[in-house]
Structure 1
């Protein structure tokens, strides 16, 4: 039984598990207990029309044959495809990650809030609506001279126990004509920064973007679900020695 994918918050919050080629979608909800130990890890293969095609290569989460790059993510307004196909209304947005990481991004207008939740943003502002992706990427590239267009996982883990610096956020927004604002909630709070780990054992505290937050032995852990992809899941709790937070000894 191999974990071959995941759905972040905004898309349902689930683990995708393959067993003999069929895909099972295991929904993750607060209060659930996960009792999986992580076995060997290899390439997660590919999911094609609901069927998993396995790969035995050792590279993880994907080998060179199954690594795909979404060219639109690297586009700056000069199309990298043979023919431009993003003729749909796009939104340019700013996203805030506590306490004061601010990024610019682009998505199809109809997916705006979903995209924000997939990333785990705390606040956001819709600042431009344009007719296609090329124009949106050009605007994004210009704004990216001042703001980041990528947020690392460690920064997102740090945001779990922080609050957005509202003054800094409002200062960023003064340079834009804001169309709409988003104050995003994920249904849980943690008092201290979780320990970053790669485990699938514990009580589900919540999910924020692709960060799965688990409580195990008095410590709260943040698991990047991408780091789980490719592992064989074995029934039974992990027997690894895990790093504990100082609060677990109180």
Structure 2
């Protein structure tokens, strides 16, 4: 059975990146088509991502999505928290890249402050399932930006991360209220003087995701694929009911596509 390493949708189609018989390949779920995907209870470490690709767990750890050893080796930490330990060549490259500090809005009331490479800003918003996004500052290299991120989070009580459960609860929201609250947060930062002055360019990402009316939480997929919002897979049953699957909880599980 294929082993789910990662679910992503920022590039368009909902995709299950999986490993089977030592080969890593994407499994795309086509919006508008019927799918029947069942996830087993069996779970094993996904291994870790390195410059040469996704490598398997050397410990063959089970009952865990990613073991501590693979988590330490995973190069994604360089991009999520600026930890380049073990990857000095990545750090040398990063020092030349342009980074951005952003605010991401989820639903009506959650504002996250985060960091990404500027060229990946819009992709990063869609990967997270953000409804609104705005760059509030840019930096060359990763050395200073994470300090600014922490300072902004502390001063304005912005989220450092958004739990999947919170995102699931905000699949349906009042868009006008959400935009008003998000715009107020951006203006609060701009007018505070904490960062160099900037002209806000607020981007509405909500149109990238399927519009839901009353989604129900479920744990397997059987029905018409509607799309995804970040790591939330959305589909409609034959009876017309809407369902949402938290795909982050499926990472490390084995699955069968019938």
Structure 2 match to 1:224: 246
- In 1, the alpha carbon distance for the partners of 2:85 and 2:70 equals 19
Quick check: 1:210 aligned with 2:243? no
Deviates more, 1:152-161 or 1:50-59: 50-59
Quick check: 1:149 aligned with 2:166? no
Q: How far 1:215 sits from its partner (Å)?
A: 2.2
Q: Show the 5 A alignment for 1:46-65.
A: 46=48, 49=52, 53=56, 56-65=60-69
Give the alignment's TM-score, normalised by structure 2: 0.79
Structure 2 match to 1:5: 5
Number of positions where the alignment pairs a residue of Structure 1 with one of Structure 2: 232
Unmatched runs of 5 consecutive residues or more in structure 1:
237-250
Q: Is the 8 A contact 1:186 1:206 kept in 2?
A: no
SS across alignment from 1:134: coil
Larger helix percent:
2
- In 2, the alpha carbon distance for the partners of 1:110 and 1:53 equals 29
- In 2, the alpha carbon distance for the partners of 1:203 and 1:35 equals 9
SS across alignment from 1:174: helix
Structure 1 match to 2:216: 195
SS across alignment from 2:234: strand
Q: Show the 5 A alignment for 1:51-130.
A: 53=56, 56-68=60-72, 70=77, 73-74=80-81, 81=85, 85=92, 86-87=94-95, 88-130=97-139
SS across alignment from 1:10: coil
Q: How far 1:97 sits from its partner (Å)?
A: 0.6
Quick check: 1:171 aligned with 2:195? no
Deviates more, 1:108-117 or 1:14-23: 14-23
Measured at CA, do residues 214 and 133 of structure 1 come closer, stay the same or move farther in structure 2, by a change above 3 Å? same
Unmatched runs of 5 consecutive residues or more in structure 2:
191-197
